Amino acid sequence: MGIGEGSTATGVQGAPLPARARAADAGDGADAGLTADELRRGLARARRSIDRHAAALTRLDAVLGDGDHGDNMAIGFRAVEELVAGLPAETLPGDLLRAVGHRLVATVGGASGPLYGTAFIEAGFRAGEAGRLEPALVGEMLRAATAGLARRGRCAIGDKTMFDTLAPATDAVVAAIESGATAAEATRAGIRAGRRGMRGTRALVARRGLALRIGERSRGHVDPGAASCLLLLIALARR
Amino acid sequence: MSEPTFDASSDDPAPSRLEVERLRARLAALESDHRRAFEQAQREADALFAQYQLSQLLASGGSPTDLGRAVVEEIVRLAGAVAGAIWLGEAGRRELVLLAVSGEFDVAVPGRFAGPEEGVSYVDGRAGLHLVVLGGEPLATLVVLRAEPGRELDTDGLRVAQLARHELAVAFSGARLREALERERHDLEAVVDGATDVILQVDEGSRLVRMNPAGERLLGIPAAAAVGRTCGDVLGCATVAGHEPAACPLAEVIRTGAPIGYRETVIAAAGGPVQVAGGYSVTPGRPGSTARATAILRDITAVRALEQLREGFVATVSHELRTPLALVRGYAESVLHLDLDPERRMEYVDRIHQVTSRLGTLVDQILDVTHLDADPLILERAPVSLGALIARLRGDLALAGDDGRLRVDVPADLPAIDVDAGRIGQVLANLVGNALKYAPGDSPVAIGAAVESDWLVVAIEDEGIGVPEEERGLVLEPFHRAWNVRESRTPGSGLGLYICRRLVEAHGGRLSLADRADGRPGTRVEFTVPLLPDARRAARRNGPERSADA
């Protein structure tokens, strides 16, 4: 099973694919809000997931970019793991996310570092000094991350980027929360929408990043950024 | 930021209301400064990232068109425009050339753009266009952007594009250079790969670094398998030419630095040793690369064979022409100067007639051979029966009184053949003529025929001296006569069988010599000619039909 729909989800033959995330694992107790500890566990899962799928991400990037996305992300999230281990236990979720963002900017090569870094920093700013991230706040944090990504990357829906995963996932989470859904339901809706967005990048022609060079030839391949974004969402959403 | 609070239980005197107001104003100002600084930092970070992305794109290579398309997309996005186009200056030309367009952009910018100073952008109010000159001489780059109606372009984005103008000019120069080099490499490759001569190159250690497809064909080795091996190993010259490594012309040009215009040697080709003529040159070593020697080798086996053929031709023709000419001259002089009786005189004139007839045949054959070797044979094919060709031959033989020796054993219902009747008639006459000439005067000459799949096989058998087995292939080549025939002193040019073979092959058939079917002494010549398509179908229906063979 894969990020998307099985063995062809990445659009690259032979690419090993991640196990389908059990988004439903976001327990119903999550309505009480995410703690910093839970966030730390989510980041550790993210590191493991990225490591597992680094080769597949790199293969996707070899088609559309310069073939280093998986390696870069793996390096970045190992650095994040080290950073998090060194932070005091009482570090607030917002501070944790901002520190992670800065570490990603500094360690992930290519455009992904500044872009993911921006998303984490913006989400961290929005978390402010909250000790628990309640569902409504998580929705606002996702909004802030999405807006930051759009601004820094000058990207929009349909550009074939990580934004095509993050933006619909955010919309779905916010809509679910606003309609009174539980945290678990909102998480499931978000992952579903993110996965749909990621799969949708396969049919798109790239309009941002290095894939711009290959124009029409970029069609038919899932964007590696969209794929890694889904991996992160799944890892961070699990409880 | 939350409002400051004050501890009411403190002993300190409460600040005055004015002081509180002042502190609040100060706090608001600090917050505002902080927000501005934060926003400014964000914008700078955004701009830096945009610059990084544009640089990454410029450094990523590609053709000028691909690069132009990517760059104009990026700049349109940076500037928040809805459409844009990019023009490039051509070296040595004043006109700008449209490279790529993003969005709906059908505005024709004047071919010759006498724009503002480098790096300055301005707004053309009439068309709502923003023209941005991104580079100066020698490679001007002009980007024209169209903003959404009622909206301004993003000045930060434009600034990023402006800052990248030098990188942009360098990237496009590089892309053009790469394209030109690629085109040149492609052209050179076409010349080298298309050459029919072997072209190969070795390094200072005599190791092969490249070889063209003609080399692969001649040597029967893929270039990939030959590269890295020594040229002596690949060409096998030490084995077949027996020359020492020091005598290697490739090593010699590297050692002396002087080219070799022409040298012949022998190499081990796929089909055995081949004589080649080569030109050898050297590319001297430069910093970063070592000297390389290049050889252009031409297989001259065919040239040598042709030379031998020409020499043989001249010798044979001289001999064949001189002998009868000497006879003619002798008889003519006798007739002219000797007081011969009328009977003897008639006899000599008759001899002159015979000899000149032979000369005529020889000249015809020489002309035939010349014609066969020089032009593709044009055949006038038509349906004809072998029986008709034999009947015509019999009529010709009757004039010389030789028809009585002919035994024809050909089924009456043989299918028609699809041949040039004149040419195949000539083959039949020649083969029967040979049989009559080389067999004893009263022995029979038999003609038989049989259908074999799509072909009619015709066989002529005589009881003559035969052709030794080892000579059977050779007598089908021009001017070659079997040793027993030469010894028999029967006159002949050595061209007849060669002409017959070529004519049969021109019809797609085969001609060969064999032992007689009954094993008795003599010669059997067999040739095949194609059946008419209808006859082929009929033959397939009826199965193989064999006649009483000759």
pLDDT per residue over B133-175, tens digit each?
A: 555 554 567 777 777 888 888 888 888 887 887 788 888 888 8
Whole-model pTM: value is 0.62
Separation of alpha carbons B110 and B121, rounded Å:
17
Sequential DSSP letters for chain A: --SSSSTTTTSSTT---PPPP-GGGS-GGGGG-B-HHHHHHHHHHHHHHHHHHHHHHHHHHHHHSSS-HHHHHHHHHHHHHHHHHHS-TT--HHHHHHHHHHHHHHHS-SSHHHHHHHHHHHHHHHHTT-SSB-HHHHHHHHHHHHHHHHHHHT--TTSSSTHHHHHHHHHHHHHHHHTT--HHHHHHHHHHHHHHHHHHGGGSPP-SSGGGGGGGGGTTS--HHHHHHHHHHHHHH--
Strand order in the sheet with B141-146: B96-102, B83-89, B141-146, B129-135, B121-124
**DSSP-derived pairing of the beta strands B445-452 and B406-409:** parallel
A128 close to B (CB below 8 A)? no
Cross-chain CB nearest to A213 (options B46, B62, B77): B62
Rounded Cα distance between B143 and B470, Å, is 82
Q: How many CA atoms lie within 13 A of A7 on its CB side?
A: 2
Contacts of B83 in chain A (CB under 8 A): none
What tokens appear for A21 in the block? 């995330």
Which residues in chain A touch residue B74, judged by CB atoms under 8 angstroms apart? 212
Locate the chain B residue with the closest alpha carbon to A207: B73
Distance of residue A105 Cα from the nearest chain B Cα, in angstroms: 11
**Residue B251 in tokens:** 């090593």
- The answer to whether the Cβ–Cβ distance between A152 and B49 falls below 8 Å is yes
pLDDT score of B245 more than 80: no
Inter-chain CB proximity B66 and A215 less than 8 Å? yes
Work out the minimum CA distance from B221 to partner chain A, whole angstroms. Answer: 34
Higher pLDDT among residues A8 and B65, named by residue: B65
Residue A80 near residue A43 (C-beta atoms within 8 A): yes
Confidence of residue B546 (pLDDT cuts 50, 70, 90): very low
A152 touches chain B (CB under 8 A): yes
Q: How far is the C-alpha of B267 from the C-alpha of B265, rounded, in Å?
A: 7
Token code pair at residue B299: 């297989």
pLDDT digits (tens, 9 = 90+) for B190-203: 999 999 999 999 99
- Interface-testing mutation among A66, A104, A213, with chain B (most B C-beta atoms within 10 A): A213
Q: How many angstroms separate the CA atoms of B365 and B362, rounded?
A: 5
Q: What is the ipTM of this complex?
A: 0.84
Q: Residue B402 — very low, low, confident or very high, per pLDDT cuts 50/70/90?
A: confident
pLDDT range class, residue B325, cuts 50, 70, 90: confident
Read off the pLDDT of each residue in B421-425 and give the average, rounded to a whole number: 88
The string of DSSP codes covering B146-202 is EPPTT----HHHHHHHHHTHHHHHHHHHHHHHHHHHHHHHHHHHHHHHH-SSEEEEE
Who wins on pLDDT, B483 or A157? Answer: A157
- Could you give phi then psi for residue A66, rounded to 5 degrees? -110, 15
If you ran DSSP here, which 8-state letter would residue B517 be given?
T
In the block, tokens 């072997």 appear at: B198
Query: How far apart are the CA of A160 and the nearest CA of chain B, in angstroms?
Result: 14
Q: Is residue A9 predicted with pLDDT exceeding 80?
A: no
Chain B contact for A62 (CB, 8 A cutoff): no
Looking at per-residue pLDDT, the higher value among B12 and B182 belongs to B182
Whether chain B has a CB inside 8 Å of the CB on A110: the answer is: yes
A125 in contact with chain B, both atoms CB, cutoff 8 A: no
Report how far apart the first and last C-alpha atoms of chain A are (Å, whole number): 21
Across the interface, do A215 and B45 touch by the CB < 8 Å criterion? no
Candidates A207, A210, A215; nearest CB to B56: A210
> How are beta strands B455-461 and B445-452 bridged, if at all?
antiparallel
pLDDT at B543: 55
Kindly determine whether residue A213 and residue B49, on different chains, have CB atoms separated by under 8 Å: no
Substitution target from A151, A154, A163, A210 for chain B, most B beta carbons within 10 A: A154
- For residue B78, the chain A residue with the least C-alpha distance is A154
Whether B57 and A210 lie within 8 Å, measured CB to CB = yes
Interface touch A154/B66, C-beta < 8 Å: no
CA distance A106 to chain B (A): 13
Nearest Cβ partner for B73 among A111, A152, A212:
A212
Residue-level pLDDT at B84: 86
Q: Cβ A111–B56 below 8 Å, yes or no?
A: yes
Question: Residue B222: helix, strand or coil by DSSP?
Answer: coil
Considering only CB atoms, A213 lies closest to which of B49, B50, B66, namely B66
Give the nearest partner residue to A212 out of B42, B57, B157, using CB atoms. Answer: B57
* Interface contact A113, partner B, CB < 8 A: no
Task: Work out how many CB contacts closer than 8 A connect A with B.
Answer: 42
Residue A7 is predicted with a pLDDT of 37
pLDDT of residue A163: 98
Does the beta carbon of A111 lie under 8 angstroms from any beta carbon of chain B? yes
Mean pLDDT check: name the lowest of A2-16, A84-98, B437-451, B453-467.
A2-16
The angle, 0 to 180 degrees and rounded to 10, between the axes of the packed helices A163-178 and A183-200 is 150
Residue A19 phi/psi, 5-degree rounding, is: -65, 145
Nearest-CA distance from B67 to chain A in Å? 6
Res A178 pLDDT > 50: yes
Residue in A152, A214, A215 nearest the CB of B46:
A152
More confidently predicted of B185 and B519? B185
Task: Report the gap between the CA of B276 and the closest CA in chain A (Å).
Answer: 48
Q: How far is A118 from chain B (nearest CA, A)?
A: 10
H helix intervals, B404-544: 421-438, 483-488, 496-506, 533-542
Chain B positions with Cβ closer than 8 Å to A: 42, 45-46, 49-50, 52-53, 56-57, 60, 62, 66-67, 69-70, 73-74, 77-78, 157
| Chain B interface includes A217 (CB < 8 A) | no
Residue A130 CB contacts under 8 Å (≥ 6 apart), including other chains? A33, A92, A93, A94, A137
Q: Which residues are bridge partners to B295 per DSSP?
A: B200, B280
Answer for the pair B215, B227: CB distance below 8 angstroms, yes or no.
no
Per-residue model confidence (pLDDT) at position B453: 86
Q: Residue A230: pLDDT above 80? A: yes
- Nearest CB to A212; choose among B49, B70, B78: B70
Tokens of A161: 């980027």
Q: Is the Cβ of A214 closer than 8 Å to some Cβ of chain B?
A: yes
Compare all CA atoms of chain B with the CA of A129 and give the residue at the minimum distance: B1
A208 — contact with chain B (CB < 8 Å)?
Answer: yes
B483 pLDDT higher than 80? no
Give the integer Cα–Cα distance in Å for A163 and A119: 10
**B66 to chain A: closest CA residue:** A213
Over the stretch A56-78, which tens digit does the pLDDT of each residue have? 999 999 989 889 999 999 999 99
